[in-house]
Amino acid sequence: MAKKHVKYYGVDAFTETAFKGNPAAVCFLEEDKDDEWLQSLAAEFNVSQTCYLTPIHGTSIPRFGLKWFTPIVEVNLCGHATLAASHILFSSDLVNNSVIEFVTLSGVLTVKKIPSIDVVGVPNLLNGKAPPVGFYIELDFPAYYPITKLYHDDISIIDEALNGASIIDMKRTEFADDLLVVLTSGKIVLEVQAQFDALAKLSGRGVSVTGIAPPESGFDFYSRFFSPKFGINEVSD
């Protein structure tokens, strides 16, 4: 029996320029594959996230199974790869609907296609410029992650891992076992020179570093995420 080809796309999220932003591989499967095969292909692509879409038939709203893999491990949730998958489905007319549902390890995620003319306040977000012709993608993700206690060893490591950046607060999320570190400003967030060897010693998956953005930026906050333990030094989710 001839082997079936896997259709895939390479997508750069959060950018309008090729080879910038955060890359993701989006693979379309006709049937489920075993996790070893999925992981091997993700390692072959060797980008921060490879996601796999498998159609689920017989539903009124288009549904797909969605799984995410870094080069070394499967993860429960990934924002930029979900955005990339949604972009391909909408822009390639692979779905005839403005709503898609993804069945994932984090539950059912809903994605909406919104024409740019319907987006309120976009000129302000784009520094006064008119929104480009096309569409926007709205992701409905879990918003609440219970906070749990910090590990003493993590507290002692984080200062070294963030190269002495000024920390206001630090929490640990129960769901993904990530550290959330609040710095004194968004400017400091951009300037952080993370020590990846030290970050890899932390107990959880990774570290999200955030701070209030400058008023003139048009954003509420800046955020960076580091997860060298999962094969991703930095990911722009």
pLDDT digits (tens, 9 = 90+) for 196-224: 999 999 988 899 999 999 999 999 999 99
AA identity, residue 136: Y
What six digits make up the tokens of 144?
């609440």
Instruction: Evaluate whether 80 touches 24 at the Cβ level (below 8 Å).
Output: yes
Nearest one of 5, 20, 6, 11 to 89, comparing CA atoms = 11
The predicted pLDDT at position 144 comes to 67
* DSSP string of 72-88, one letter each residue: S-EES--HHHHHHHHHH
Question: What are the distances in angstroms from CA 26 to CA 41, 138, 197, 218?
Answer: 11, 18, 29, 30
Euclidean distance between CA atoms 104 and 86, whole angstroms = 14
Query: 10 Å Cβ neighbour count for 135?
Result: 19
The predicted pLDDT at position 124 comes to 43
The predicted pLDDT at position 123 comes to 45
Low-confidence ranges of the chain (pLDDT < 50): 1, 121-127, 131, 237
Euclidean distance between CA atoms 13 and 177, whole angstroms = 25
The predicted pLDDT at position 126 comes to 47
The predicted pLDDT at position 174 comes to 83
The predicted pLDDT at position 133 comes to 58
pTM: 0.81
- Domains of the chain listed by start with CATH number: 7-140 (3.10.310.10), 147-235 (3.10.310.10)
